[in-house]
Chains A and B, each alone.
Chain A
Amino acid sequence: MKEIYMDNNATSRVADEVVEAMLPFFSEQYGNASSMHEFGGQVQRHINKARESVAQLLGAADPGEIIFTSCGTESDNTALFSALRSYPERRHIVTTRVEHPAVLNTTRYLQSQGYQATYLAVDGEGMIDLEELRSAVTENTAVVSVMHANNETGVIFPVDKAAEIAAARGAVFHTDAVQSAGKLPLDLKRSNIDMLSLSGHKLHAPKGIGALYVRKGTRFVPFMMGGHQEHGRRAGTENAPYIVGLGKACELARKNVETENTAVKALRDRLEKELLSRISNAKVNGGKSPRLPNTTNISFEFVEGEAILLMLSDLGIAASSGSACTSGSLEPSHVLRAMGVPFTFAHGSIRFSLSVYNTAAEVDFVLEKIPAIIERLRRISPFGKNGKRPQEAGVCREN
Chain B
Amino acid sequence: MWDYTMKVQDHFRHPRNVGNIPDANAVGEVGNMVCGDALKLYLKVDEKTRKILDAKFETFGCASAIASSSALTEVVKGMTLEEAAKVTNQQIAEYLGGLPEEKMHCSVMGMEALEAAIKSYGAGGKPVTHEEPEGKVICKCFGVTEEKIRKTVAENRLRTVADVTNFTKAGGGCGKCKGEIQRILDDMLGNKPSAAPPEAFSQLTMVRKIHAVEEALAREIAPNLLADGGSIELVDIQGSVIKVRLAGMCRSCPSSGVTLKSFVEKKLRELLDPAITVEQAE
Stretch at the interface among B80-88, B137-145, B205-213: B137-145
**Looking at the complex, which of A247-255, A306-314, A351-359 is the stretch in contact with chain B?**
A306-314
Chain B: which residue is nearest A302 at the CB level?
B60
Q: How far is the CA of A397 from the CA of B65 in the complex (A)?
A: 21
Report how many residues on chain A are interfacial, defined by Cβ distance under 8 Å. Answer: 34
Instruction: Tell yes or no: A387 within 8 A of B by CB.
Output: no
Q: Say yes or no for B256: interface residue by CB 8 A criterion.
A: no
Determine whether A343 belongs to the interface, using a CB cutoff of 8 Å to chain B.
yes
Are B59 and A395 in contact (CB-based, < 8 A)? no
Cα distance, A64 to B84, chains bound together (Å): 72
Interface secondary structure of A, over-half rule: loop
Q: Decide: A383 and B60 in contact? CB cutoff 8 A.
A: yes
Residues on the B chain within 8 Å of A344, using CB:
33-34
B120 CB-CB contact with A under 8 Å: no
Is A88 located at the chain interface by the 8 A CB criterion?
A: no
Check A395/B143 contact, CB under 8 A, given A332-B36, A383-B33: yes
Are A395 and B35 in touch, CB under 8 angstroms?
yes
Return chain A residues, CB-CB under 8 Å to B174: 397
| Chain A residues numbered 235-260 whose CB sits less than 8 Å from any CB in chain B | none
Neighbouring A residues of B66 by C-beta, 8 Å = 307, 380
Q: Nearest residue in B to A325 (C-beta to C-beta)?
A: B62
A390 CB contacts on chain B under 8 angstroms:
32-33
The reply on B18 being an interface residue by CB < 8 A is yes
Q: Are A323 and B35 in contact (CB under 8 A)?
A: no
| Bound-state Cα–Cα, A332 to B61, Å | 12
Complex-state Cα separation, A305 to B18, whole angstroms = 19
Complex: A397 Cα to B142 Cα, angstroms = 7
Tell me the complex Cα distance, A302–B140, Å. 24
The yes or no answer to B239 lying at the interface (CB within 8 A) is no
Residues of B contacting A310 in the complex (Cβ-Cβ under 8 angstroms) = 12, 63
Tell me, in angstroms, the Cα distance from A383 to B58 when the chains sit together. 9
User: Which residues of B in the span 15-41 have a Cβ within 8 Å of any Cβ on A?
Assistant: 15, 18-19, 29, 32-40
Cα–Cα distance between A392 and B18 once the two chains are bound (Å): 24
Q: A98 within 8 Å of B by Cβ?
A: no
The interface residues of chain A lying within 8 Å CB-to-CB of B44 are: none
A306 CA / B173 CA spacing, docked (Å)? 18
Q: Across the interface, which residues of B come within 8 angstroms of A380, CB to CB?
A: 15, 18, 58-60, 66
Q: Is the CB of B173 within 8 A of A325?
A: no
Q: How far is the CA of A21 from the CA of B124 in the complex (A)?
A: 74
Judged by a CB distance under 8 angstroms, whether B13 is at the interface is yes
Collect the chain A residues with CB atoms within 8 Å of residue B165's CB: 330
Partner pick for A382 among B59, B132, B141, B173, CB 8 A cutoff: B59
Rounded to whole Å, the gap between the CB of B32 and the closest CB of chain A is 4
Q: How far is the CA of A329 from the CA of B172 in the complex (A)?
A: 6
- Docked CA distance A381–B33 (Å): 10
In the assembled complex, 7 residue pairs joining A and B whose CB atoms fall closer than 8 Å, in A order, are: A304-B61, A304-B62, A310-B12, A330-B142, A347-B60, A380-B66, A381-B58
Q: Which residues does B use to contact A, with CB under 8 Å?
A: 12-13, 15, 18-19, 29, 32-40, 58-63, 65-66, 102, 132, 140-143, 165, 169, 172-174
Q: 5 closest Cβ contacts across the A-B interface?
A: A395-B143, A330-B172, A325-B62, A382-B58, A306-B62
A sample of 11 more A-B contacts (CB under 8 A), given A330-B141, A390-B33, A393-B32, is A304-B37, A314-B13, A325-B61, A330-B169, A343-B33, A379-B19, A382-B59, A392-B34, A395-B34, A395-B143, A397-B174
